[in-house]
């Protein structure tokens, strides 16, 4: 079963706010100069910011903020965030893959940016409300 698609807009301002809240001040998340110097196309979102947005989608689907029992992802492609008001957008999808012996629901997750997958092996186990 597929759950309704969720989309999240990401701007530079979001990255600055996330850097402050998380304590991850790696310059590739706010400086084009540093990002391009290390071979990136430009400033990229923190992988953990993308994971947090997908986590938000998971808790919203599950219907409870404390529903997540297990959650893991692999970061496969950077989310490039242009320096404009539009920023970029990620689309998050989930498919219900089954129910564990303990009655928990297993979700298989997909996150795409500009049509490309940015996560692999993205899975969550949740207590559905």
- Give the interface with other proteins as residue ranges (CB under 8 A): 8, 14, 17-18, 20-24, 38, 47-49, 51-53, 55-56, 58-59, 64-66, 68-75, 121
State the nearest-atom distance from the C-beta of 110 to other proteins, in Å: 16
* Closest to other proteins by CB, 74 or 114: 74
Phi, psi of 20 (to 5 degrees): -65, -45
| 3-state SS class at 93 | strand
First to last CA, the chain: 17
State the nearest-atom distance from the C-beta of 118 to other proteins, in Å: 12
Distance of alpha carbon 29 from alpha carbon 9, whole angstroms: 16
| 3-state SS class at 126 | strand
Distance of alpha carbon 60 from alpha carbon 86, whole angstroms: 24
* Closest to other proteins by CB, 112 or 125: 125
* Closest to other proteins by CB, 75 or 82: 75
68: number of Cβ within 10 Å: 17
State the nearest-atom distance from the C-beta of 95 to other proteins, in Å: 19
State the nearest-atom distance from the C-beta of 72 to other proteins, in Å: 3
* Closest to other proteins by CB, 8 or 12: 8
């Amino acid at each position: 079963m597929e759950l309704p698609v969720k989309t999240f807009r990401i701007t530079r301002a979001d990255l600055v706010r996330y850097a402050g809240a998380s304590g991850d001040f790696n310059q590739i998340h706010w400086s084009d100069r540093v990002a391009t110097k290390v071979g990136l196309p430009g400033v990229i979102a923190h992988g953990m910011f993308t994971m947090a947005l997908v986590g938000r989608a998971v808790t919203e689907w599950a219907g409870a903020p404390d529903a997540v029992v297990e959650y893991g992802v692999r970061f496969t492609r950077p989310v490039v965030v242009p320096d404009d008001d539009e920023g970029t957008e990620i689309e998050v999808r989930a498919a219900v893959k089954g129910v564990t012996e303990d009655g928990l629901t297993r979700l298989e997750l997909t996150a795409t940016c500009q049509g490309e997958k940015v996560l692999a092996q993205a899975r969550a186990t949740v207590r559905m409300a």
